[in-house]
Structure 1
Amino acid sequence: MSAASAPAASLRPALPGDTPILAAIAAAAIFELTGEDYDHDQQEAWASTAGDEETLAERLADSLTLVATRDSEPVGFIALADNKRIDFLYVHPEVAGEGIGALLCDAIEKLAAARGAKSLSVDASDTGLGFFQKRGYVPKQRNTVPRGGVWLGNTTMEKSLVAEGTIH
């Protein structure tokens, strides 16, 4: 489906009953979109963490979580933790490249700024690094994270939400 013919996506707050579908979206994104950057063992370890529905539900409940839907079906989600860090951003592979991630990021950046955040950080996967760089996030630090007996690389990035020249 091309972005031009795709139905418009809408955003809504996450609901407690969304956890299974959001875990499935995360797993699909990990397995289908990260193969160029992570090997199978890394994908398995990452997906087992993201797919732990009980832990995912707790983290989403402690965050401002938005769900992108198309035809009322969830196709992606983003979670903002402590009004300063993007904790999750996953888009279903079937809609990857259609602007869903940008729609989610735009909304969460606006909400964080409206709540007084001066900047946002994210621990971006190697797959997501270019996406965040295009949005103005600047790499700050390279990380290696243990997951299920394997190591995953990611990069802590930060974006200022305050326009240059603005008086603080």
Structure 2
Amino acid sequence: MTEITIHRIRSGEGDLLGQLFHRSVHEGTHGAYDAAQRAAWSPQPPSGPDWEARLAGAVTLVAWAGKLPAGFMTLDPETGYLDLAFVAPEWQGQGVAAMLYGLVERCARRQGLAQLTSDASEVARPFFLKQGWQDGPRQEVTRGGVTLHNYRMAKPLKPALERAA
């Protein structure tokens, strides 16, 4: 099995993550969202300077399997909002999300955040529930005239214990 390594996003990696995002939406959520919903969610892979800036503006952790990204997650370190959490279809169910999430939560605790929040897809919702998140209300979101749904979820955090000096 290929070893997974994780690091913060580096300049120039945004387009690869955009391709992973697009594939994950179209291949990894087909049981939960229909073709029109997937096309509205991600009509094309996000790329370019605005996408790269969005990723660089957050704490973005990337899991690598050799020279290809296996998954990534983003956290707003000020608000605790976990915006993007995507794993390549061939890596789903193999622990990549759990590895990334463990580091994201550790980062949030170090920042002293009181809670994490996310608008979780139908596919991400069971994963977050396993991580101790509280289930929230189902929400309807319209993109390109197509209605999708997600769930507002939260996880209260206790601050990491300070190390004794």
List gaps (5 residues or longer) in structure 1: 1-5
1:127 is matched with 123
Moved more, 80-89 or 90-99: 80-89
Q: How far off is 1:162 after superposition?
A: 1.3
The equivalent position to 1:36 in structure 2, one of 31, 41, 56, is: 31
Number of aligned residue pairs: 158
2:93 corresponds to which of 70, 80, 97: 97
Q: What amino acid does structure 2 have at the position aligned with 1:80?
A: L
Q: Deviations over 1:89-141 (max 9, x none)?
A: 10001111110000010000000100111210111001111111111111122
Q: Partner amino acid for 1:79?
A: T
- Map Cα deviations across residues 8-43 of structure 1 (whole Å, 9 max, x no partner): 311111023111110110111111111111110100
Question: Alignment RMSD, CA only?
Answer: 1.6
1:41 corresponds to which letter in structure 2? Answer: A
Query: Contact 2:15–2:46 (CA<8 Å) still a contact in 1?
Result: no
Q: Following the alignment from structure 1 to structure 2, what is the Cα–Cα distance between the partners of residues 34 and 152?
A: 12
Q: 1:52 maps to which residue?
A: 46
Counterpart in 1 of 2:142?
146
Greater Cα offset, 130-139 or 51-60: 51-60
Residue 155 of structure 1 deviates from its aligned partner by: 0.2
Q: 1:72 to 1:52 in 2, by over 3 A?
A: closer
Q: Contact 1:83 / 1:112 at 8 angstroms: preserved in 2?
A: no
Hey, what's the Cα distance between the residues in 2 that align with 1:77 and 1:83? Answer: 19
Q: Take 1:142 and 1:16, find their aligned partners in 2: how far apart are those partners?
A: 36
Distance 1:73 1:160 in 2: 33
Q: Does structure 1 retain, via aligned residues, the 8 Å contact 2:9–2:62? A: yes
Give the share of equivalent positions with the same residue, in percent: 32
Please tell me whether the aligned partners of residues 68 and 76 of structure 1 are also in contact (alpha carbons under 8 angstroms): yes
> Which TM-score applies when normalising by structure 1?
0.88
SS at match of 2:71: strand
Contact 2:19 2:46 in 1 (8 A): no
Q: Deviations over 1:27-80 (max 9, x none)?
A: 11111111111110100111127x232442232122110100112421110000
